[in-house]
Amino acid sequence: MKGIRRNEEGVSPVIATILMVAVTVVLAAVLYVMVMGMISSGPAPDVPLGLNQQAKSNSTVTVLISLAPDGARIYGSILSITHDGIPAKANATLYSSTGTLIANYTNGEWHGLPNNDTSYESGMILKITAAAVSHGDSITITGVGFGLSVMTID
């Protein structure tokens, strides 16, 4: 009986190269899937406030907040109006859905809020006053907890 013959040559260099490339491609694909999973599982994009015009005069527009995502904070939000394509100074008064005064917006800041965590709620009424308000002007509200909210005045 002959002894077992040992072949110590291993695989050919071509096969070894192909195996290394295949393993590298598989690892790269797994890493790509993991990274893309982390990126796409981030927070959902901010939802804008729902703004619906209720009434308008030459210097005032009344806006109903029809949609307010959870955590849409009033404190720190910025209200602006653009009249004939030019930014204009605006003041506002915010009321609850029952008509109770919540806060006033003057000189770019909210005043009179019960606390800094007070949030916008559906049904609130925003009365905005500017030197002039006309068809085609736009109202913009930006802040924490909601996306850029824009309404064009009818």
Q: Indicate if the pLDDT at residue 43 is higher than 60.
A: no
Q: Indicate if the pLDDT at residue 147 is higher than 70.
A: yes
The pLDDT of residue 96 is 95
The pLDDT of residue 142 is 93
For the residues 22-46, what does the mean pLDDT come to?
A: 78
Going by the DSSP 8-state scheme, the letter that residue 45 receives in this structure is P
**Buried-state track 84-114, b at ≥16 Cβ within 10 A, e below 16:** eeeeeebbbbbbeeeeeebbebeeeebeebe
Q: Indicate if the pLDDT at residue 7 is higher than 70.
A: no
For the residues 119-131, what does the mean pLDDT come to?
A: 95
